[in-house]
Amino acid sequence: MKILLVNKFLFENGGSETYIFRLQDYFESMGHEVQFFGMEDERNVAGNKWNILTKNIIFNKVSLMTLLYPFKIIYSIEARSKIKRLIGLFNPDVIHLNNINFQITPSIIYEIRKYRIPVIFTAHDYQFICPNHMLYQPKRGVPCEECLTSGFIRCVKNSCIHGSKWRSILGFFESLLYHGLKTYSLIDRIICPSEFLEKKFLVKAVFQGKTVMMHNFIKKTTNNSEYKKKDYVLYFGRFSKEKGIETLIEVCKRLPEIPFIFAGGGPLEGLLDNVPNIKNAGFLKGLDLIRTISEARFSVYPSEWPENCPFSVMESQVYGTPVVGADMGGIPELIKNEKTGLLFQAANPDDLVDKITTLWYNHSLLDELTENCLKVEFDTPEIYGEKLLNLYRQTINQG
């Protein structure tokens, strides 16, 4: 089978990139041919053999070309033209869309449908139903579903995209355009990585009958017997407000006797300074990250926006580390409360203090949860990949 994976970034940038590269590995191991379509970037680790990619759109640089960005991020003539060339040369059996908004744009869906090629889309976030992709108001720091209930104009009123009225207006027009044109009705199947996300998508009539729920996959790469537990609590991820970092730091200050390790980076990294019981390990990857996860007593995932199906929560558990996680979005679907971790009320520091102290001082409970984590079974890339191939075949046959 010939498979075209479409994603705006073609380097390791986040969850959607981890997803497409692991799928590539599995598909190619099974003898399928995989090509990519996305943006040019010196960091790219994937592409296509004809080197047909769109020009990079970098929002934080100012040049004459940036004057065209308001038009290009809503509708990309370049992306349509280039994916047309790529389809003609590659002739894929199926096209699998991932993160495309603002750089690639949904305009490519029209070009794809000219060729009657099945279109699959994985919703890594809420981009088709929320202009800022997060169901979250950054300025107020609270979850938000106003665009679902009161229309996309709420994005403008709340300045939801980077706190900018201008960017929020562009996001409003993009959402209004593609929903008004019923562009998303041209997608054959939408993969929702959480029941929570699927429920939100089904509020819109255009998505009804198209969704399929499939939690993300995770691959365990080392044996836990190599590592021994150490006395620290771990947070690994982005240091930003929506991730609940401010709440977690407040909790750390209230628990000076408990050592914490923070692994990652982000705009709020400076808040870690002068907190004696926090060690900033910086950005970790590969075996260094696996060891740090495996040796933690437990990890904390304090997100304050309704995340979809975070890999970090899954990764912690498969390496035998229970998770104290926020009861928000798709997170409760991944943590069995009092079995593989504990859930706390998101953005509630008192409840988080209670859950952390409970697990830190109750050794028998922690041992039980740790043992249960080692038995957790999430889909592997192989199991997930085979499910996806079956979905591809089913969609092709229906066409």
CB-based burial, 100-138: b 16+ in 10 Å, e otherwise: bbbbbbbbbbebbbeeebbbbbbbbbbbbbbbbbbbbbb
Given this model, what pLDDT does residue 59 score? 52
Beta-carbon count within 10 A of 365 CB = 14
Residue 289 or 60, more confident: 289
Structure tokens at 1: 């089978």
CA dist 304 → 5, 107, 227, 295 (Å): 31, 32, 31, 26
> Which own/partner contact pairs does 61-69 have at CB distance under 8 Å and 24+ positions apart?
none
- For domain 224-373, the CATH class is alpha beta
Share of the chain above pLDDT 70, in %: 96
* Stretch among 63-72, 186-195, 275-284 having the lowest mean pLDDT: 63-72
Quick check: 66 pLDDT over 90?
no
Residue 141 phi, psi (nearest 5): 70, 40
**234 burial type by CB count under 10 A (0-12 exposed, 13-18 middle, 19+ buried):** buried
DSSP letter, residue 42: T
At the topology level, CATH places domain 2-217+380-398 in: Rossmann fold (3.40.50)
Structure tokens at 69: 């960005």
**Residue pair 244/326 in contact by the 8 Å Cβ criterion:** yes
Beta-carbon count within 10 A of 208 CB = 10
Distance of alpha carbon 181 from alpha carbon 104, whole angstroms? 18
Structure tokens at 249: 């730091």
**Residue pair 183/106 in contact by the 8 Å Cβ criterion:** yes
> pLDDT tens for residues 251-266?
999 999 999 999 999 9
Residue 355: strand, helix, or coil: helix
**Residue pair 129/35 in contact by the 8 Å Cβ criterion:** no
Pairing of strands 323-326, 298-301: parallel
Average pLDDT, the chain: 93
Specify the pTM.
Answer: 0.91
Distance of alpha carbon 347 from alpha carbon 337, whole angstroms? 18
CA dist 66 → 37, 39, 62, 73, 155 (Å): 22, 16, 6, 11, 22
Relative orientation angle of helices 349-361 and 363-373, to the nearest 10 degrees: 90
Q: Is the dihedral of CA 26, 27, 29, 30 positive or negative?
A: positive
> pLDDT tens for residues 35-45?
999 999 999 99
DSSP-assigned letters across all residues of 260-288: EEEEEE-TTGGGGTT-TTEEEEES--HHH
Kindly compute the dihedral angle of the four CA atoms of residues 243, 385, 106, 197, in this order, to the nearest 10 degrees.
-40
* Range list for CATH 3.40.50.2000 in the chain: 2-217+380-398, 224-373
Scan for tokens 């790219």, then name that residue.
Answer: 44
**390 burial type by CB count under 10 A (0-12 exposed, 13-18 middle, 19+ buried):** exposed
> pLDDT tens for residues 330-356?
999 999 999 999 999 999 999 999 999
Structure tokens at 286: 């590969």
Where residue 67 falls among pLDDT bands split at 50, 70, 90? Answer: very low
> pLDDT tens for residues 159-203?
998 888 888 998 899 999 999 999 999 999 999 999 999 999 999
What is the tally of helices (H) and strands (E) in the chain? 14, 14
> pLDDT tens for residues 84-132?
999 999 999 999 999 998 889 999 999 999 999 999 999 999 999 999 9
Where residue 223 falls among pLDDT bands split at 50, 70, 90? Answer: confident
One-letter amino acid for residue 59 of the chain: F
**Residue pair 298/276 in contact by the 8 Å Cβ criterion:** no
Where residue 15 falls among pLDDT bands split at 50, 70, 90? Answer: confident
DSSP-assigned letters across all residues of 148-176: HHH-THHHHHTTTTTT-HHHHHHHHHHHH
Quick check: 378 pLDDT over 60?
yes
Average pLDDT rounded to a whole number, residues 76-87: 96
Distance of alpha carbon 249 from alpha carbon 260, whole angstroms? 10
Scan for tokens 């959402």, then name that residue.
Answer: 175
